[in-house]
Amino acid sequence: METGRMEPRDATRPPRVLLVEDDAITQTYLRAVVEALPAQVDPATTRTQALQQAARRRHDLWLIDLTLPDGNGAQLLQELRGHCGDAPPALAHTADRDPAVRGAALAAGFRDVLVKPMSTAELSNALRAALAESMDLPDWDNAAASAALNHNPGNVQALRRLFLDELPEARAEVLRSARSGALATLRARLHRLQASCGRVGARRRGAGVESLRARPDCRDALEHSARAARDLTG
């Protein structure tokens, strides 16, 4: 595999996903869900094709079938990481419900394992959460905040000041709930935070909250969410 020179991440374009799936029907379904995010898709049906795709361009997420005609997903993940200095997160998908298969995939470095058939909502949430961790999102989305607050700059600034004043305690409550295993309290706080982030255009903080809502028991998602909050408050 020749790595070549990867282009830098262009924040103006949709994220790009490497989709590895050899079954035509399943690939069509997965591709439709990914493109609806929206995101760009580079499909591959074999391990060899996936390596070629990764050599040509940078991806923000790898979505990999664990069983391939010319190898397996865990092997492919190691090869991709060996050739990509800045490897994105990787999601595995499989029809095998054996817990041992899931455990082996997580041990190999996959962020999560999606079991087919899966609902569109389940797939979309997993994709968004993974992409939120891989993409360099801006702290503030001024256009979104302006639209949410009737294009009144004074309202935007006032609500952002209130949001930032409340953010340290909100972050502390999230950490306490997560570390104590109080998942009901954690989900309730994350639900309120998600709405607040949308109103003030706190885009990266909102992505961190969404990632944690998708996986409330994941330490990586908790750290990603906390880091986004720390960066806003200094």
- Band the pLDDT of 141: cuts 50, 70, 90: confident
25-43 residue pLDDT tens: 999 999 999 999 889 999 9
What pLDDT score does 104 carry? 96
| Percentage of the chain modeled with pLDDT above 70 | 91
Quote the pLDDT of residue 120: 92
pLDDT of residue 183: 87
**Structural element, H or E, at residue 12:** none
Distance CA 64, CA 76 (A): 8
Q: What residues make up the domain containing 46?
A: 16-134
Final residue in a domain of this structure, among 82, 113, 134: 134
pLDDT the model gives residue 26: 96
By DSSP bridging, strand 90-94 and strand 16-20 are unpaired
- Give the model's pLDDT for residue 216: 80
Report the CATH number that the domain containing residue 82 is assigned in CATH: 3.40.50.2300
Evaluate if residue 83 carries a pLDDT over 90.
no
- Residues 175-188 have a mean pLDDT of 90
- The one-character DSSP state at 140 is B
Answer with the one of 91, 110, 134 that is the final residue of a domain.
134
163 lies in the same domain as 61? no
pLDDT per residue over 108-121, tens digit each? Answer: 999 999 999 999 98
Q: Which of 134, 164, 187 is the last residue of a domain?
A: 134
For range 186-190, the mean pLDDT:
90
pLDDT at 5: 40
DSSP assigned state of 11: T
Q: What pLDDT was estimated at residue 1?
A: 46
Distance CA 141, CA 123 (A): 25
pLDDT in tens, 192-234: 998 898 888 887 788 788 778 877 877 777 877 787 787 777 6
Q: How far apart are the first and last CA of the chain?
A: 42
Q: How many domains does the chain have?
A: 2
pLDDT at site 2 = 44
pLDDT cut 90: percent of the chain above it: 47
Residue 6's pLDDT band (boundaries 50, 70, 90)? Answer: very low
Is 168 found in the same domain as 123?
no
